[in-house]
Amino acid sequence: MRRLFVTIIPATFLMVSNAQTQEPRPSTVAGRSTVYAPHGAIATSQPLASAAGLAVLQRGGNAVDAAVTAAAVLNLVEPHMTGMGGDMFALLWSADEGRLVGLNASGRSGALMTREELLRRSHRSVPIHGAEPITVPGALSGWAALLERYGTITLAEAVRPAIELAEEGFPVTPIIARQWALEVEKLKRDEGARATYLVGGERAPEAGEWFRNPDFAATLRSIAQEGPATLYGGELGERIVERVQELGGFLTVEDLESHTPLWVDPISVDFKGYRVYELPPNGQGIAALEMLRILEPYDLAAMGHNSARYLHHLIEAKKLAFADLAAWVGDPEHMTVAPRDLLSDGFIEARRALVDPHNAAERVEPGAAATTSETIYLSAADRHGNMVSFINSIYWEFGSGVVVPGTGFALQNRGAGFTLEPGFANTVGPGKRPFHTIIPAFVTRTAADGNEEPWLAFGVMGGSIQPQGHVQVLLNLLLFDMSLQGAIDAPRFRHLVGLQLALEPPIGDDVRRALAAMGHVILPDGSVSFGGGQAVMRLERGWAAGSDPRKDGMAVGH
């Protein structure tokens, strides 16, 4: 998802301007009810994807089958956010195994991508657009790995609904149409992107207008026939490498051939009687866990939901966690700090001591850790008790903006997540996994028999909002007893950098004035996105599901 560049307006001006010129703020962003279902449920950010996943569940498929099917459809219907040209991560509760497993299907940088070469090209940071930030797309390998180990259908069966929709076409939904329209100039810069995603090569499709992608259908047919190998070193991969190198990128066929997804052990912390899981680095999930650990001793409920005191403590915890992300987190093969060190008692106590309850910190340094030698999110559950927390992204809108002609999908720009500053785990280099923003989350609780049982698969998409969103949604559920849909609907904050803070309009002027008095600089309403979340919750009997009204998606069940 895109980084955000905003104009800072002094808080004093904002308070006067808001009070004098704005209409009364809406009291809620709600507009949906929690979905309850007896057998299974799925929540995605687009109705056609939810419908495709639901159909799989109704035919007897499991949560993994439904998730991969929905992900393939999302590549088509929400192409600016996701696709097989990007990466994916998943947390899966296996009912048969009685445990949570993690999958990291992120790709590495190309063998030709070096800091020295980027500096030679006069770059001061890794470019955001074009072929240079393209890294190995890992999503397809993740889809295949999930199905092979835990699914009941083949990859060919999973992509069939997306093939049919790509050939027949579909009407574009309103929010996606608005976001698509903002990227027209970016898409015009690339021959393949212009031909694939712009009507007549000039404009984005409008809400309700039908869109077809026959090139993507052909690509999926080749994958159905030949398997993932066609991308990872086969004919499709060779076409991608040829085009990427022609445009100045760094991938080689060998980079694609050597790619493998990784099964990993999730990391977790206890919070208020529950256990919250995230995937280990190279992602930012550890920031959500660090925030929860910093916040746990505070009586947040007594402060009041979305009060100035409450929001201030969450914001300051976020700043500390993100400072540690920037300093310590990247490709785990290059990290000098283990995740457990960043979550240890001594480290967390030292970080918590820096929270000033009355004043906003403008600059936060990383902790002195002991060293050792925008995205789609969906969740699904089935009648067997399997639950999937699944996220797939091409990073910025339409990723790099590069579509290899005839393939029908955009390639990610995940290499833009590297830094050119030397000496960091996330310093750019060949064959490295970049720092990742996309993170699925999962929560378990203790059952009556004393064993761990699955409770919640959830996530909030949207770049740096994700750890902040995870914490806010979870606290809504655990501290304020909100319904699942209510916890997703509730207005959010988003801290950017320094003192910059965005608040959703339902958060009132009194809270804004109090936060400004603490030193926070409140950004204009509408200046940033607050992400979009989905969730599926296990009940004593059946399931609950919710989908964010900030997106076009929906939760459905059977």
For the segment 290-306, the average pLDDT, to the nearest whole number, is 97
pLDDT > 90 fraction of the chain, expressed in percent and rounded: 83
Q: Are 379 and 396 in contact (CB under 8 A)?
A: no
For the segment 67-73, the average pLDDT, to the nearest whole number, is 98
pLDDT given at position 9: 27
Q: What is the pLDDT of residues 187-200, one digit of tens each?
A: 999 999 999 999 99
pLDDT given at position 3: 33
pLDDT given at position 80: 95
Number of Cβ atoms within 10 Å of the Cβ of 540? 4
How far apart (Å, rounded) are the C-alpha atoms in residues 1 and 465? 10
**How would residue 4 be classed by pLDDT, with cut points 50, 70 and 90?**
very low
Which residue carries 């699914």 as its tokens?
151
| CA gyration radius, the chain | 22
The tokens describing 518, both together, are 């603490």
How far apart (Å, rounded) are the C-alpha atoms in residues 123 and 119? 5
Q: What mean pLDDT value characterizes the chain?
A: 91
Number of Cβ atoms within 10 Å of the Cβ of 514? 16
Rounded to a whole number, what is the distance in angstroms from the first to the last CA of the chain?
A: 32
How far apart (Å, rounded) are the C-alpha atoms in residues 472 and 503? 13
pLDDT given at position 13: 28
C-alpha distances in angstroms, 316 versus 159, 328, 438? 43, 19, 22
Contact partners, residue 349, CB within 8 Å, separation at least 6: none
Active site residue 375: yes
Contact partners, residue 401, CB within 8 Å, separation at least 6: 129, 130, 183, 186, 187, 189, 190, 193, 410, 413
Q: Which of 231, 225, 228, 226 is nearest to 256 (CA)?
A: 231
Which residue carries 């031909």 as its tokens?
195
Q: What is the pLDDT of residues 114-141, one digit of tens each?
A: 999 999 999 999 999 999 999 999 999 9
Q: What is the pLDDT of residues 200-213, one digit of tens each?
A: 999 999 999 999 99
Q: Identify the DSSP state of 286.
A: H
Q: Are 407 and 219 in contact (CB under 8 A)?
A: yes
For the segment 526-537, the average pLDDT, to the nearest whole number, is 92
**How would residue 336 be classed by pLDDT, with cut points 50, 70 and 90?**
confident
Q: Which of 87, 110, 89, 103 is nearest to 432 (CA)?
A: 110
Domain boundaries, given as residue ranges, for the chain: 35-263+375-417
pLDDT given at position 289: 96
**How would residue 39 be classed by pLDDT, with cut points 50, 70 and 90?**
very high
Report whether pLDDT(238) > 90. Answer: yes
Q: Please, which residues bridge with residue 264 across strands?
A: 102
Among residues 44, 69, 252, 375, the one annotated as catalytic is 375
Q: What is the pLDDT of residues 425-467, one digit of tens each?
A: 889 999 999 988 889 999 999 998 889 999 999 999 888 899 9
DSSP β-ladder status, 521-522 and 500-503: parallel
Cα angle for residues 156, 258, 394 (degrees, 5° grid): 60
- Helices 155-168 and 47-58: crossing angle, nearest 10°? 140
Q: Are 192 and 411 in contact (CB under 8 A)?
A: no
What 3-state DSSP class applies to 103?
strand
The tokens describing 16, both together, are 């006067």
Indicate the pTM of the whole model. Answer: 0.91
How far apart (Å, rounded) are the C-alpha atoms in residues 398 and 183? 8
The tokens describing 52, both together, are 């495709």
**How would residue 283 be classed by pLDDT, with cut points 50, 70 and 90?**
confident
pLDDT given at position 12: 29
